[in-house]
Amino acid sequence: MKNLLVQINKPPYKGSQVLEAIDAAMVGAVFDCQVTVLFRGQGVLALWPDQDATGIEQKTVSKVLSALPTYEVKRICACAEDLLAFNLPVRNLAVPIEVVGYAEIAELMQNQDAVIGI
Amino acid sequence: MKYTLAIHGSPYASGAHLQAILLCEAILRAGHTITRVFFYHDAVNVALNTLVAPQDEANLNAKWQQLAHEHGLELAVCIANGLKRGVVSTGEAKRYKLDHPSLSEGFELVGLGQLIDAIATSDRYIEIPT
């Protein structure tokens, strides 16, 4: 089993890269990888609660994210500094996350066999 | 050593493809093998058979085809990302009742599982971002 980190650092509704990265995380888990998803930079905006993208005819990213545990993606992390920078309500995000600092991110990356990033 | 490469950048809005082609050449020259080259996000556009490169610019589509032909590389295009960007094989064109396929020779539409499988069976995974 490989350890696979999917890093998301693009904003959720600028193109479809975030949805495509979530697809990679789900397929990785289906293929028996130990998958961790890490939100960084503008990527943390994908965690905003109460999203509704029907008005812009897109999939609502938070709804897709909520399916991650069903796909056995158990570890979802977000960068503490970036959550703070965007003033996100850590206790009330679209999905429960683990808040990680830069040192923990470095350690997380060292423990991976591969990092898929966008 | 076995390598898997994934290209994420658009062929002409980023330098990703030229960088990736040079990297592939260097990897092969050093005696390593490349398990699979996977095109994801906007990188799938390089597989369109309707691309016409200007005479004074690199023909990225042809460069990939040549590299694949010479070294038996597998050029794998993410099917979900490809379809929504107009990259369709003969089979998919039939399925969606489109007039013409648009996938270049030498490229193949595959599922994301092929990326994960390649990563799992390679020693190194290198991603060329957007």
- Could you give the CA distance from residue A40 to residue B35 in angstroms, rounded to a whole number? 30
| Residue-level pLDDT at A118 | 64
Q: Do A26 and A67 meet the contact criterion of CB atoms below 8 Å apart?
A: yes
Q: State the pTM of this model.
A: 0.91
Report ipTM (2 d.p.).
0.84
pLDDT band for position B52 (cuts 50, 70, 90)? very high
Q: Give the pLDDT mean for A50-67.
A: 94
Chain B hits for A33, CB-CB cut-off 8 Å, are 116, 119-120
Mutate to test the interface with A, among B112, B117, B121, B126 (most CBs of A within 10 A): B112
Q: Is A26 helix (H, G, I), strand (E, B) or coil?
A: helix
| Residue-level pLDDT at A74 | 84
Q: Give the pLDDT mean for B15-28.
A: 96
% pLDDT > 90, chain A: 90
Q: Do B49 and B104 meet the contact criterion of CB atoms below 8 Å apart?
A: yes
% pLDDT > 70, chain A: 99
